[in-house]
Amino acid sequence: MIKNFLSLEWKSFLRSASFGKGLAVKILMGFFALYFIAMFLFIGFFMDKILLETYPDVDPFVAFNGLLFFWVIGDLIIRFFFQKLPVMSVKPLLTLPIKRKGIVNYVLGKSVVSLINFLPLFAIVPFGFKLIAKGHNGTTILTWILVIVIITLINNFLNFIIESLSAETELSFLPIIVFVGTLFGLNHFSILNISEALSRGVVSISENPIELLIPIIILVVLYAYNFKTLRKKLFLDSGLKKEIKEVYTSNLEWTKNFGDIAPFMQLDLKLLWRNKRTKSSVWMLPLGLFYGLFFYPQPAYQDMPWFFALIGIFVTGIFLINFGQFIPAWDSGYYKLLMSQNIKYEQYLKSKFTLMALSVMILFVLSIPYVYFGWEILLAHFVAAIYNLGVNTHVILYGGSFNRKKIDLDQKAAFNFQGTGAVQWLIGIPLMLLPLAIFGIMYAIAGFEIGCLILGILGIIGIIFHQRLMKVITKKYLESKYKMIDAFEQNN
């Protein structure tokens, strides 16, 4: 049966409509994987040295176990964002003579075969063997490696429980923040010394292999819990029947001020607010706004003014980038309707433009407090906002005409690569790197003020030629109309 499942998945991968483009993303992911493996191997080989440097008086083995708590917490957070329970379209399988148990075990089993579960081994095994070579007891270290593997698996299944909780709440990050925050808080304020307890527990188990039973029992319990909840979900009606909340409608009368694009703006605002995927690009706004705080407070960056423009582009353009890169794929679900309705493409695009332009202005106003870190920063943000308004809005709209990938609005958003193609990677170059390059070069040649001036002038030129640029963009969209309709009808 497992063989059948595997062959089904292989076919769905090979025969997917966007196989070629999907492959490019997968190859990129492959490189990331290799990179991480190399990193972990490196850490593994030099772990003892690093630990001895930081804690000269402590045995590396004890020192590592002392840090195990933070390892576990970090692992959980990374998992929450990057690891999803493997998906399988089960609906066609439910009526076939396949045991539900088999499907659930397969899905859970497959989740174990994930890079994220193997990565720790790349660090732990070299570290362990070096410890043995340095005179540690062989059995102890081997048992210890086993404990770490079991802890990794415990994290694996714990993560799915946290994720299933987060799928039920509106603020999807809440469960992980509460869970990790509580653990960390208890430990940090010494209410419960989890870090110490965990470290002692692991050492004790390593020395008495019989105690391995304890983590194994925890693992089995977590697996059983996952099994139970998944099995419950494996009925057709529970998959089909969604909880339907009563909806509140608002008129959004203020959009009437924008004239003939008002209906589209209303539609876009509802699109943003009523779908999982888009809602998270709204939640990204505060994140982007505070992006500067990672850099400006550090004195090292204070002396790198050529960098300010890029941060300015990002802070004032976070919505532009997030929302803009998937125009018109946001509307892919009903693109045929739009194309056969009595609308002008120009109005449709103008509404998107207005929305992005408004966001840039609002974000700039909200970012004014950065002036605390120096007037240069405010100036850099101001010209970056103008550049966003005049150049980046048009660039991203133009790039959109190359979009050929459908987006399912109901899917959860964090690290969801659906709808991502080569366009999304390439568009970053003119969007972020180009202004960085222009500003950087100007700064090096002529100084900060001139750099700002050039960036601002480019933005103003874009604003002046707005009408003409929109005409060009509209034409481009009209040319790719049939291709887009066809592409948005394909699944995957």
- Residue numbers at the binding site for other proteins (CB under 8 A): 242, 244, 246-249, 262-263, 266-267, 270-271, 274-275, 333-337, 339-344, 409-410, 482, 485-486, 489
Q: Are 260 and 350 in contact (CB under 8 A)?
A: no
Q: For residues 449 and 479, which CB has a smaller minimum distance to other proteins in the complex?
A: 479
Rounded-to-integer distance, Cα 224 and Cα 219, Å: 9
State the nearest-atom distance from the C-beta of 262 to other proteins, in Å.
8
Q: Supply 12's token pair.
A: 């769905």
Please report which residue ranges of 55-66 form alpha helices under DSSP H. 60-66
State the nearest-atom distance from the C-beta of 286 to other proteins, in Å.
23
Q: For residues 190 and 250, which CB has a smaller minimum distance to other proteins in the complex?
A: 250
Please enumerate in sequence order all residues whose Cβ is within 8 A of that of 335, keeping only pairs 6 or more positions apart, or say none. 328, 484, 485, 488
Q: For residues 3 and 242, which CB has a smaller minimum distance to other proteins in the complex?
A: 242
State the nearest-atom distance from the C-beta of 86 to other proteins, in Å.
25
DSSP 415: T
State the nearest-atom distance from the C-beta of 87 to other proteins, in Å.
20
State the nearest-atom distance from the C-beta of 12 to other proteins, in Å.
22
- List Cβ<8 Å contacts ≥24 apart for 80-83: 80/159, 80/162, 80/163, 80/166, 80/176, 81/414, 81/415, 82/116, 82/415, 83/111, 83/114, 83/116, 83/156, 83/159
Q: For residues 259 and 447, which CB has a smaller minimum distance to other proteins in the complex?
A: 259
Q: For residues 449 and 489, which CB has a smaller minimum distance to other proteins in the complex?
A: 489
Q: Are 241 and 232 in contact (CB under 8 A)?
A: no
Rounded-to-integer distance, Cα 439 and Cα 449, Å: 10
Q: For residues 246 and 303, which CB has a smaller minimum distance to other proteins in the complex?
A: 246
3-state SS class at 277: helix
State the nearest-atom distance from the C-beta of 478 to other proteins, in Å.
9
Q: Are 33 and 115 in contact (CB under 8 A)?
A: yes
DSSP of 91-152, one letter per residue?
HHHHTSS--HHHHHHHHHHHHHSSHHHHHHHHHHHHHHHHHHHTT--HHHHHHHHHHHHHHH
Q: For residues 3 and 15, which CB has a smaller minimum distance to other proteins in the complex?
A: 15
State the nearest-atom distance from the C-beta of 257 to other proteins, in Å.
15
Q: For residues 207 and 479, which CB has a smaller minimum distance to other proteins in the complex?
A: 479
State the nearest-atom distance from the C-beta of 347 to other proteins, in Å.
9
H/E run at residue 90: none
